[in-house]
């Protein structure tokens, strides 16, 4: 949203549109998330000693609304960006290189978000809850592993730095026997 405000050279009308749109969409998003969090149930303390704090059950019925609502401000931002792009092109011809980068990156970010949101909504609405959870868990794990890999490669690869990285990281896997 800040990028759109900057592209419009600090236009007050665009600022008002973005603020109203932000309030109108993010207040319901936070309300739905609060409702979702109240519905979570967790295992008892005996099980939590051996596992992570992972909810046993939650209803995903309202979460697709959060994803759908998230598309509204993103779509408004992209529409405002395109309007400004064609308005500037009519006045000045080719936009300056900095604006070209802002337009290009804004479009790429929007289409990436749009694709991810549509896949999430489709899986949540049509698929069983296990698939929705599995896809999100897989993507999050992949992100964590990539971050860990990048951090490891950015350090000197001597043994001290590798040991230091692995001991300071919170990501760990351990075989644990659960009591019967």
Residue 3's pLDDT is 80
Global model pTM greater than 0.85: no
Which of 1-15, 26-40, 66-80, 149-163 is predicted least confidently? 149-163
Find tokens 């900057």 and name the residue: 6
Using pLDDT thresholds of 50, 70 and 90, give the confidence band for residue 178: low
Percent of residues, the chain, with pLDDT higher than 70: 68
Of the candidates 21, 58, 54, the one whose C-alpha atom is nearest the C-alpha of residue 39 is 58
Q: Where are the domains of the chain?
A: 2-127, 128-180
Q: How confident is the model at residue 60 (pLDDT cuts 50, 70, 90)?
A: low
The radius of gyration of the chain from alpha carbons, rounded to an integer in Å, stands at 22
Q: Do 1 and 73 form a contact (C-beta atoms < 8 A)?
A: yes
Nearest to residue 62, comparing CAs of 39, 93, 88? Answer: 39
pLDDT above 90 for 64: no
CB 74 within 8 Å of CB 52: no
**8-19: per-residue pLDDT in tens?**
888 999 999 999
Cβ 138 vs Cβ 95: under 8 Å: no
Number of Cβ within a 10 Å radius of residue 106: 20
Task: Name which residue leads in pLDDT, 110 or 62.
Answer: 110
């Amino acid at each position: 949203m800040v990028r759109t405000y900057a592209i419009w050279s600090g236009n007050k009308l665009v600022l008002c549109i973005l603020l109203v749109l932000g309030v109108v969409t993010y207040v319901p998003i936070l309300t739905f998330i609060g409702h979702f969090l109240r519905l979570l149930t967790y295992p008892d303390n005996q099980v939590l000693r051996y596992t992570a704090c992972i909810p046993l059950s939650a209803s995903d019925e309202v979460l697709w609304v959060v994803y759908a609502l998230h598309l509204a401000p993103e779509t408004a931002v992209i529409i405002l960006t395109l309007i400004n792009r064609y308005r500037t092109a009519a006045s000045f011809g080719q936009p300056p290189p900095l604006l070209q980068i802002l337009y290009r990156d804004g479009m790429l970010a929007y289409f990436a978000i749009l694709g991810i949101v549509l896949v999430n909504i489709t899986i949540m609405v049509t698929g069983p809850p296990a698939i929705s959870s599995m896809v999100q868990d897989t993507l999050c794990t992949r992100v964590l592993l990539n971050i860990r890999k990048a951090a490891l490669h950015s350090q000197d690869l001597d043994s001290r730095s590798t040991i230091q990285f692995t001991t300071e990281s919170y990501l760990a896997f351990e075989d644990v026997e659960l009591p019967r």
